């Protein structure tokens, strides 16, 4: 296969896989059949395009090939004759402009993120159907056996089928409660990759899907805010770990490794979203991330932004982050009482950053023995080796005689 055909196929797969799958799900109402027909269409392109050449409208060619494959598969299944008669009555998809192929991806997103599905199932379906990752890739990303992930995907699809979850954009009165859930799942995918260099693929896919959501919902400021936040955070990803894989805190990061183009794009998107005057959680977090990318960090402004965030999205993690900002703006003595309140609340007992933050504040005020106890607790509940190595190094600092 020529390099030109390979490049076109790779590009069409990256940009068109989810459109073809979404079109086939709407056409067949069968998730597995839809994915199999999409795969068959790409396999046919691999065989035919090197000989016949790349068609003028590759997406239309693949969509038609997938639809024809679906009809062939159903024709051979004698138990599906009624469905065959129904499908054959539909007008065939002509080889028209790619831009004229209906785009059902927004319906697919909302179906994947239906509240009847668990968060784990929502994430798995998003990565399988919209990002085009295979089951093995998703399993590796979430450190579970491939069989387990396969079962998770199977159960999710069965739940959609058995519960009669509709393949459509929710009614207008349901959108306010469904859009945040959709954006939350995308950010969960991003964060799953942000914490480990070997999972960078998940960050890339989350950003790609974030761009898709903004393209499909351009008037939704929180979608724009989420994309801005992911871009601003991803811009610093190369500097977050050193050559040994150890965590590097923000103040020690090599700014020459930051991606200035992503920072510029993320900052522009953040400003665009905030101009709408409906600042939501993702927009405010993006504004905070933009402050961190400035040449000098304005901690007082960050404290103010966290104050707004606490009002629109209250929760102990937001309060903890605000306390960190207060410590940078006004010193550790001002922040310690805020952190003590969060500790007393108890909801973040298993969250390593709570104990790490308290330990750092105690270290900065000279209470080394108490800091050591909190570092030990943070190490116990830390989620990964980079975090444990970082905390262990801090523990050595405060216990050094």
Residue 101: is its pLDDT beyond 60?
no
Q: For 172-183, what is the mean pLDDT?
A: 81
CATH number of 306-401: 1.25.40.10
Residue 352: is its pLDDT beyond 50?
yes
- Say how far apart CA 388 and CA 400 lie, in whole Å: 18
Nearest Cα to 272, choosing from 235, 212, 264, 308?
Answer: 264
Q: With bands split at pLDDT 50, 70 and 90, how would you rate the model's confidence at 309?
A: very high
Q: With bands split at pLDDT 50, 70 and 90, how would you rate the model's confidence at 79?
A: low
Choice between 372 and 15, residue whose per-residue pLDDT is larger: 372
Identical topology for domains 3-103 and 104-184: no
- DSSP per position, 262-327: HHHHHHHHHHHHHTTS---HHHHHHHHHHHHTSSS--HHHHHHHHHHHHHHS--HHHHHHHHHHHH
What is the pLDDT, as a whole number, of residue 95?
47
Q: What percent of the chain has pLDDT over 70?
A: 93
What is the pLDDT, as a whole number, of residue 8?
84
- Say how far apart CA 362 and CA 198 lie, in whole Å: 33
How far is CA 293 from each of CA 192, 267, 283, 330, rounded to the nearest angstrom? Answer: 22, 9, 15, 20
What is the pLDDT, as a whole number, of residue 222?
95
Q: For 111-136, what is the mean pLDDT?
A: 87
| Residue ranges covered by each domain of the chain | 3-103, 104-184, 306-401
Q: With bands split at pLDDT 50, 70 and 90, how would you rate the model's confidence at 98?
A: low
CATH number belonging to the domain at 3-103, selected among 3.30.43, 1.10.3470, 1.10.1740, 3.30.70: 1.10.1740
Least confident of 193-202, 212-221, 280-289, 373-382: 193-202
The length of the chain in residues reads 401
Nearest Cα to 392, choosing from 376, 373, 370, 374?
Answer: 376
Summary mean pLDDT of the chain = 88
Residue 295: is its pLDDT beyond 70?
yes
Least confident of 117-131, 167-181, 349-363: 167-181
Domain 104-184 in this protein, CATH class: mainly alpha
The DSSP call for residue 247 is B
Q: With bands split at pLDDT 50, 70 and 90, how would you rate the model's confidence at 102?
A: low
Any idea which residue has 């020690």 for tokens?
252
- Chain-centre distance for alpha carbon 2: 34
pTM for the full model? Answer: 0.80
- Say how far apart CA 298 and CA 291 lie, in whole Å: 7
Q: For 135-143, what is the mean pLDDT?
A: 81
| Token code pair at residue 292 | 């961190």
């Amino acid at each position: 296969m020529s390099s030109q055909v390979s490049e076109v196929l790779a590009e069409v797969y990256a940009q068109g896989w989810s459109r073809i799958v979404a079109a086939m799900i709407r056409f067949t109402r069968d998730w597995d059949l839809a994915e199999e027909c999409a795969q068959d269409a790409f396999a046919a392109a691999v065989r035919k395009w090197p000989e016949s050449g790349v068609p003028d409208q590759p997406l239309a060619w693949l969509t038609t090939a997938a639809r024809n494959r679906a009809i062939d598969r159903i024709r051979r299944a004698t138990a599906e004759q009624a469905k065959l008669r129904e499908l054959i009555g539909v007008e065939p998809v002509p080889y028209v402009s790619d831009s004229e192929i209906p785009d059902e991806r927004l319906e697919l997103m909302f179906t994947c993120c239906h509240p009847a599905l668990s968060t784990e199932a929502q994430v798995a379906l998003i990565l399988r159907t919209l990002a085009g990752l295979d089951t093995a890739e998703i399993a590796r990303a979430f450190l579970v056996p491939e069989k387990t992930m396969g079962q998770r995907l199977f159960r999710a699809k069965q739940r959609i089928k058995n519960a009669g979850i509709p393949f459509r954009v929710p009614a207008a009165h349901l959108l306010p409660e469904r859009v945040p859930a959709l954006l939350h799942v995308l950010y969960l995918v991003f964060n799953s990759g942000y914490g480990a260099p070997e999972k960078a693929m998940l960050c890339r896919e989350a950003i790609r899907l974030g761009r898709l959501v903004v393209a499909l919902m351009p008037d939704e400021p929180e979608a724009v805010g989420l994309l801005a936040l992911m871009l601003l955070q991803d811009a610093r990803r190369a500097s977050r770990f050193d050559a040994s894989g150890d965590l590097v805190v923000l103040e020690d990061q090599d700014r020459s490794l930051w991606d200035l183009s992503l920072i510029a794009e993320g900052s522009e998107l953040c400003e665009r979203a905030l101009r709408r005057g409906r600042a939501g959680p993702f927009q405010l977090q993006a504004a905070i991330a933009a402050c961190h990318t400035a040449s000098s960090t304005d901690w007082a402004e960050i404290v103010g932004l966290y104050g707004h965030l606490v009002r629109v999205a209250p929760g102990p993690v937001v309060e903890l982050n605000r306390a960190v900002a207060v410590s940078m703006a006004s010193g550790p003595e001002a922040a310690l009482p805020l952190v003590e309140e969060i500790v007393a609340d108890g909801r973040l007992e298993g969250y390593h950053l709570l104990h790490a933050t308290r330990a750092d504040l105690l270290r900065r005020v000279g209470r080394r023995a108490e800091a050591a106890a909190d570092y030990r607790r943070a190490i116990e509940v830390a989620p990964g080796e980079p975090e444990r190595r970082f905390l262990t190094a801090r523990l050595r600092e405060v216990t050094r005689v």
